[in-house]
Amino acid sequence: MRVNENILISSLTTMRLGGLARYVLEIEKPKDIPDAFGFAKQYNFPTFILGYGANTIGRDEGFNGVIIINRMKGITEEKTETGFKLKIMGGEYWDNVVAHACEKHLTGIEALSKIPGLTGAAPVQNIGAYGQEVADTLESIEVFDTTDYTFKTLTKSDLNFSYRKSLLNTTAKNRYFVISVTLNLSVGEMKRPFYNSIEKYISENNLTDFSPAGIRQIVSKIRAEKLPDPTEKASSGSFFKNVYLTDSEAEKAEEKGYPVHRGKDGNKINAGWFIEQVGFKGQLLHGIRVSDKAALVLINESAKSYNDLKKARAEIVGKVYDKFGYWLEQEPVEIVNTMSATYIPPISNKYGTLE
């Protein structure tokens, strides 16, 4: 385990905002995990489990606690009748996993290409895109239970998956540290019809390769046109969740001419559409740029504080509500101070090397 003190959260998250975190512990082996949480508990520090930082926002006051990051890597394979089970360590970069699966002609996660983040975070919010969700192929996860300090296996049925939600970010939020994820993937291809934007891209470019690698290439190009690379532009990707409606609400919205998309995951209106309609697409608000390519994406162009983001968010959400009566919900989670920690002297060597 690597131990770091007084690290800027802005250096750990792709929106590049946030003050100092008291400690950042990087987990390199499963045996490190009880020590990491034990240290936090001993000194009354709150903990926050962080992945790549692409779906996390830091606040100006920082975090007087312990941020724990999964650095465990590795992919192992088990052949099945239809394909392979992949057991992926939580510290693996997610897009590397998708690339690995596509190279083996495995279908099930190719539409999840180019989603920034670590594999351990994938089941937490049930990442999804272009008609696929990680819940579709997930078989189980290995976790560390912080309530009783035991290692456990949770199956798909245990995780209560829904749109952008799971047990891990709802009723058991912050309880489990994800060690590994097992996916059950099959050799084959996605079945048509594909998600609308994929079908449109295929039609415009006269494409015929629908293999996992082919779909990955299509999705990668679509995302590149709409979503900024967080290594080049400070952003958390899709900042607002789509608006989901009941059947009756969807009917009323359609009567008003709103573009309701009906799919297997429910009735929804893209949050970006609302933001475009109120005139914020491409605008700069308090140093935060509303993307001119996808209005539900916010880019930190010159904001120096969380307060700048807060002001920009309030303007967007308020204007949308005033015009349409819908509250837009933020997708990225925030690192929030929740309790007072005990002062401690410098950490002993038991916990690793200070950097």
Catalytic residues: 164, 238, 331
Residue 122: exposure state from Cβ atoms within 10 A (0-12, 13-18, ≥19)? buried
List own/partner pairs for 318-322 with CB under 8 A and 24 or more apart: 319/278, 319/279, 319/280, 320/274, 320/275, 320/278
As a whole number of angstroms, the distance between CA 64 and CA 29 comes to: 25
Bridge-partner residues for 255, per DSSP? none
Quickly list DSSP for 246-273.
-HHHHHHHHHTT---EEETTEEEE-HHH
- Positions of E strands within 158-296: 176-187, 235-238, 243-245, 261-263, 266-269, 284-285, 288-290
Instruction: Kindly state the tokens that stand for 103.
Output: 């190279």
**Nearest to 14, CA basis, from 49, 69, 56:** 56
**Nearest to 111, CA basis, from 223, 27, 245:** 223
As a whole number of angstroms, the distance between CA 226 and CA 272 comes to: 11
As a whole number of angstroms, the distance between CA 165 and CA 167 comes to: 7
Across 56-88, b (16+ Cβ under 10 Å) vs e yields bbbbbebbbbbbbbbbbeeeeeeeeeebbbbbb
Return the H-helix or E-strand segment holding 47: strand 47-50
Instruction: Kindly state the tokens that stand for 313.
Output: 């968010």
